[in-house]
């Protein structure tokens, strides 16, 4: 079944909605697990579960080892390691789910620098909207979100963007296998950082008090968030134009902020909703701008 007139068939639409719901509500799961597990240990366990036992069943994708290593380090230590540390008391789950989506802007910016292309007018407007949303957050940092947490989450988004470009250079590969084998290179630096900064004593104490719910959260990071999410997303992108599938990701912060408000009681004051509206509007303009421009270009003159 293929896309007709830019619309997903309802079953495929439900699958895409399921993926973004998992990715969005996952921020609440992360916050819950951080109540028991230190952030770097949590990230290490996450990638250990993503690697094992799947690595024994999925052949290594035909890409260079340096490409897998760069992807693993950027996504593992860079994106998730830094983001987990930020969410360990420095930024609320709802805002984290929103700010991390600035990876879209960073991806565009890095691609522009590497390809030496100039920003289009719509992209400038999109970046301005996103920057305005971040400015609103900066002006309202409080006990649940600090400037440090915001900065760390932006660093995580930058690492995610760099990881996007690295994976793009890998070409058409089995995405789940790519993520699994890349997790090997996520695991190694994360384990070293965990030992260096959290230490054997803290690690042992955390593992001793970890309950079934904590381990379920770890497994969910690997199975639900990574293996299901990436596999389903790649399956959709293989069957439909990216312009039809990718805009669904705009719902990730909607699910993230909604779940955080519902399950953790995170407040949603007017300024936070305004920031979300600005960032999501910028993301939407950046993702949907080319389609809008094409539609206006094709429109016959009156």
Q: Is the pLDDT of residue 296 over 80?
A: no
Give CA–CA dist 238/279, Å, rounded: 28
Average pLDDT, rounded, for the chain: 87
pTM: 0.86
Instruction: Kindly state whether residue 168 falls inside one of the protein's structural domains.
Output: yes
Instruction: Kindly state whether residue 2 falls inside one of the protein's structural domains.
Output: no
**Amino acid 293: pLDDT:** 63
The residue among 299 and 181 whose pLDDT is bigger is 181
Instruction: Kindly state whether residue 302 falls inside one of the protein's structural domains.
Output: no
**Amino acid 1: pLDDT:** 45
Instruction: Kindly state whether residue 98 falls inside one of the protein's structural domains.
Output: yes
**Amino acid 197: pLDDT:** 95
pLDDT band at 64 (very low <50, low <70, confident <90, very high): very high
Per-residue b/e over 125-159, b at no fewer than 16 CB within 10 Å?
bbbebbebbbebbeeebeebbeeebbbbbbbbbbb
**Amino acid 294: pLDDT:** 63
Average pLDDT over residues 110-114: 80
**Amino acid 2: pLDDT:** 47
Nearest-10 Cα torsion for 232, 234, 235, 239: 140
Q: Which domain holds residue 250?
A: 10-290
Instruction: Kindly state whether residue 149 falls inside one of the protein's structural domains.
Output: yes
Nearest-10 Cα torsion for 97, 103, 104, 105: 120
Q: Is the pLDDT of residue 219 over 60?
A: yes
Instruction: Kindly state whether residue 300 falls inside one of the protein's structural domains.
Output: no
Tens digit of each residue's pLDDT (9 = 90 or more) over 144-160:
788 899 999 999 999 99
**Amino acid 225: pLDDT:** 87
Average pLDDT over residues 23-46: 94
**Amino acid 109: pLDDT:** 83
Instruction: Kindly state whether residue 265 falls inside one of the protein's structural domains.
Output: yes
Beta bridge partners of 7: 4
How many domains are contained in the chain?
1
Tens digit of each residue's pLDDT (9 = 90 or more) over 239-272:
777 667 777 888 889 999 999 999 999 888 898 8
Give CA–CA dist 68/60, Å, rounded: 10
Instruction: Kindly state whether residue 240 falls inside one of the protein's structural domains.
Output: yes
Average pLDDT over residues 1-21: 76
């Amino acid at each position: 079944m293929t896309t007709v007139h830019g619309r997903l068939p309802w079953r495929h639409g439900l699958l895409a909605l399921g993926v973004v719901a998992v990715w969005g509500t996952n921020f609440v799961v992360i916050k819950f697990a951080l109540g028991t597990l230190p952030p770097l240990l949590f990230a290490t366990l996450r990638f250990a579960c993503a690697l094992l036992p799947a690595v024994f069943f999925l052949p290594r994708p035909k890409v260079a080892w340096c490409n897998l290593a760069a992807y693993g380090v950027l996504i593992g230590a860079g994106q998730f390691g830094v983001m987990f540390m930020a969410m360990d008391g420095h930024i609320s789950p709802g805002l984290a789910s929103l700010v991390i989506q600035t990876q879209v802007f960073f991806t565009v910016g890095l691609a522009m620098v590497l390809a030496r292309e100039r920003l289009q007018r719509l992209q400038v407007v999109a970046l301005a909207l996103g920057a305005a949303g971040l400015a609103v957050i900066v002006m309202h940092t409080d006990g649940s979100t600090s400037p440090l947490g915001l900065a760390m989450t932006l660093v995580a988004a930058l690492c995610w963007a760099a990881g996007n470009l690295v994976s793009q250079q890998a070409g058409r590969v089995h995405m789940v296998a790519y993520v699994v084998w890349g997790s090997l290179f996520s695991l190694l630096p994360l384990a070293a950082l965990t030992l260096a900064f959290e230490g054997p004593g803290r690690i042992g104490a955390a593992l001793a008090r970890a309950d079934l719910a904590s381990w379920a959260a770890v497994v969910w990071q690997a199975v639900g968030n990574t293996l299901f999410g990436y596999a389903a997303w790649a399956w959709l992108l293989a069957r439909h134009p990216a312009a039809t599938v990718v805009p669904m990701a705009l719902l990730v912060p909607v699910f993230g902020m909604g779940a955080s408000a519902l399950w953790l009681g995170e407040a949603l004051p007017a300024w936070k909703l305004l920031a979300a509206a600005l960032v999501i509007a910028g993301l939407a303009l950046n993702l949907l701008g080319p389609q809008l421009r094409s539609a206006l270009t094709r429109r016959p003159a009156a």
